[in-house]
Structure 1
Amino acid sequence: MRRVLIPVSLLVLAGCAAAPTDPEVTFYADGRTINVRPSQYCDLQSENCDVTPDAVGVLRVRPGKPVQISVPGDLADTAWSVKFTYRNAQGEPQEPLRSKLFTEREPRYAYTLVLPNPDDQLESVEVQQYGARIESSTTGAFDFVARGTWVLSVDDRPTH
């Protein structure tokens, strides 16, 4: 019988290659697409987090234009929502808004963010995946704690 020796370094590399990667979210606007890694991704209890502050996508989005968001299956099969900030046509910041909560009961793989008014300017978008941990707020309400966050910063400079 012949023995085959495999260097330990190859076994270590093989083990690393099998490790799961953090899910990416795809944003699409004005004919451009960007895949974004999570800026924060935690375990199911929203603890033991990997934080990558520079994992922010940037897309140009003209006033009133929608942003299409696609999420992978391991995000679609959980509780998640979209939070966004925007300004009105006069440039005044508006209260941040949030989409409805999507859950594993009706998995949602895509969402189109449409601003309230046709002249509004989007500023930022956050896809938030919720974990199992719940915290009470100062108002007595209960909030799910975000497990993962994917951030899109909007480039709203005029094009020339």
Structure 2
Amino acid sequence: MNAPFTASGALNASFIALAAALVLTACSDPPPPPLPEVTFSVDGNSVSARPFLHCDVMVTKCDKDDKAPATLRIAAGKQVRITVPGEVAESPWSVAVEYKTAAGEQKEPQTVATFVPNESHDYTVALPDAGAQLQTVEVKQAGAKQDPAAAAGDIQLLARAVWSLRVESS
């Protein structure tokens, strides 16, 4: 025989459902912390970028975000100020640029600065040619990967995270 439906029965069922939902929520993993952002600034205009590549410290698990690169309009010859958060500055990091000279010669990407842990939180990119047009600026945070074929303890530094600024010429 079925028990009659009562308000207290409905209340008990609601309470049980709520308790089950709370238990499931408490058992789930907390959301991961937000990824660090790097800020690029020129003449008072700033833009922040998420990493378009982000790996764990040992560079074994990586995620890509093709929508992460930032864009900023920059006139030829202008300097770009880069600011990195503490969690990037506390590891080795570097800055790479790609540009065209004032004469229009395309330059290959090149590393223009490298920092040891806690050396700096910022850097200003100044191209060697006053009329050069910056095209891309990348910040690379180093991680370590152990080569299984190498001697025990032998590691290589790789980019574990990369932030990118794509430049629109003005």
Q: Give how far 1:145 is off.
A: 1.2
Larger radius of gyration between Structure 1 and Structure 2? 2
Q: Give how far 1:102 is off.
A: 0.5
CA distance in 2, matches of 1:23, 1:123: 23
Q: How does 1:1-160 map to 2 (within 5 A)?
A: 5=19, 7-8=22-23, 10-11=25-26, 15-16=30-31, 19-104=32-117, 106-133=118-145, 144-156=157-169, 158=170
Q: Give how far 1:62 is off.
A: 0.6
Q: Give how far 1:43 is off.
A: 0.6
Secondary structure of the residue that 2:66 maps to in structure 1? coil
Deviations 1:41-65 (A, max 9, x none): 0011112001101111000111110
Q: Structure 1 regions of 5+ residues with no counterpart?
A: 136-141
When normalised by structure 1's length, the TM-score is 0.81
Q: Give how far 1:10 is off.
A: 4.8
Contact 1:27-1:67 at 8 Å conserved across structures:
yes
When normalised by structure 2's length, the TM-score is 0.77
Moved >6 Å (runs of 4+): none
Q: Give how far 1:117 is off.
A: 1.3
Percent of counterpart pairs with the same letter? 37
How much is the aligned-residue C-alpha RMSD, in angstroms? 2.3
Contact 2:96-2:113 at 8 Å conserved across structures:
no
Q: Which structure's residues are more often helix, by fraction? A: 2
Q: Structure 2 regions of 5+ residues with no counterpart?
A: 1-17, 148-154
Q: Give how far 1:9 is off.
A: 5.9
